[in-house]
Structure 1
């Protein structure tokens, strides 16, 4: 259930960013009368949408806003997480995998699954997107390294917003980058040529 809500929020945020980008970029290109490179624009749009969604979930406070049934507008800004810091590798991962319940957390299984899958899943797109940028040398090692650096920056920033900093998040993020980069690498090597030959 939590994973479903998490995905719905991510899709809504991504859709909003994509629409804003397309409208503003369309206006800019029309005014400047510049040639449109569809492939590049798709890559830029996807990248911006992903980065805003990623940073929104990892570096910004949790924001709720809307209109109540009474017609009153509400805006609530609170922090995510518990502000704890963990530098012991696999401590949190082990807790999520092997601890069956937690007296302080209701729906512990849902919370555990969300933390594990979200930390991996949030960085899978990074590995895919990074592969398609014009790197000097396409390398899974280089892409993974840049993903690890981004993850560390995010975790260090979370110290200041007291969201919670965990070395295990970096480990899971790295796994996500590796999965995404591997998918992109294998796809560009074996899948894309099949479609290109038919175009």
Structure 2
């Protein structure tokens, strides 16, 4: 996994260069701390896409699809109480879906996105992730489970990130530095 992250980091370097060139063309930079947050978030999105769509890609002839809310979550709870799996495994799978999208909510708060728009993003982003997984299966690139519970947990993660940023008084976005005359 570490080697894959290093490889992804090397692939990400051109994305950062494109971002910087874009900012230079627009002649509009934010303060350094804000630009760093934007670049870190770009890297996070890059890693998120890799994790949810391409990490451990296995193309199977079938796909697990769950459209019953809380079915997978209750299955994990039952399996833990029955002693079939450890609480650690259940926690990694359930809390992992929440933690995976937590930075999105924090980033939206950082950029002063309204709660209404954040809620819309919290619905849309997990749906896009799951539809992407379904599409990748149908075109034969990878098979991941498609689960309404993942959508619910990702939704919780995005809104939790938004509220954590709000409660913790994360750094507010600074005004941009206009380089129009230089």
Q: Partner residue of 2:52?
A: 58
Cα distance 1:144–1:35, how it changes in 2: closer, same or farther (>3 A)?
closer
Residue of 142, 146, 149 corresponding to 1:168? 149
Q: Partner residue of 2:178?
A: none
Kept after mapping to 1: 8 A contact 2:105/2:161:
yes
Give the TM-score normalised by the residue count of structure 1.
0.65
| Matched position secondary structure for 2:54 | coil
Residue of 35, 40, 43 corresponding to 1:41? 35
Whole-Å Cα distance in 1 between the matches of residues 5 and 157 of structure 2? Answer: 18
Alignment of structure 1 residues 79-90 onto 2, 5 Å = 79=59, 83-90=63-70
Measured after TM superposition, the shift of residue 170 of structure 1 is 0.9
Whole-Å Cα distance in 2 between the matches of residues 89 and 151 of structure 1? Answer: 14
Q: Partner residue of 1:133?
A: 111
Whole-Å Cα distance in 2 between the matches of residues 18 and 152 of structure 1? Answer: 25
* Deviations 1:58-86 (CA, angstroms, capped at 9, x unpaired): 12252xxxxxxxxxxxxxx5359x72111
Cα distance 1:129–1:18, how it changes in 2: closer, same or farther (>3 A)?
farther
Structure 1, gaps ≥5 residues long: 63-76, 194-199
Cα distance 1:110–1:192, how it changes in 2: closer, same or farther (>3 A)?
closer
Cα distance 1:99–1:149, how it changes in 2: closer, same or farther (>3 A)?
same
Structure 2, gaps ≥5 residues long: 138-142, 173-182
Q: How many residues align?
A: 162
Whole-Å Cα distance in 2 between the matches of residues 149 and 39 of structure 1? Answer: 28
* Deviations 1:128-185 (CA, angstroms, capped at 9, x unpaired): 01112254xx22x321220221101111222232311111111111111121000111
Q: Partner residue of 1:181?
A: 162
RMSD (Å), alpha carbons:
3.4
Give the TM-score normalised by the residue count of structure 2.
0.70
Measured after TM superposition, the shift of residue 118 of structure 1 is 1.1
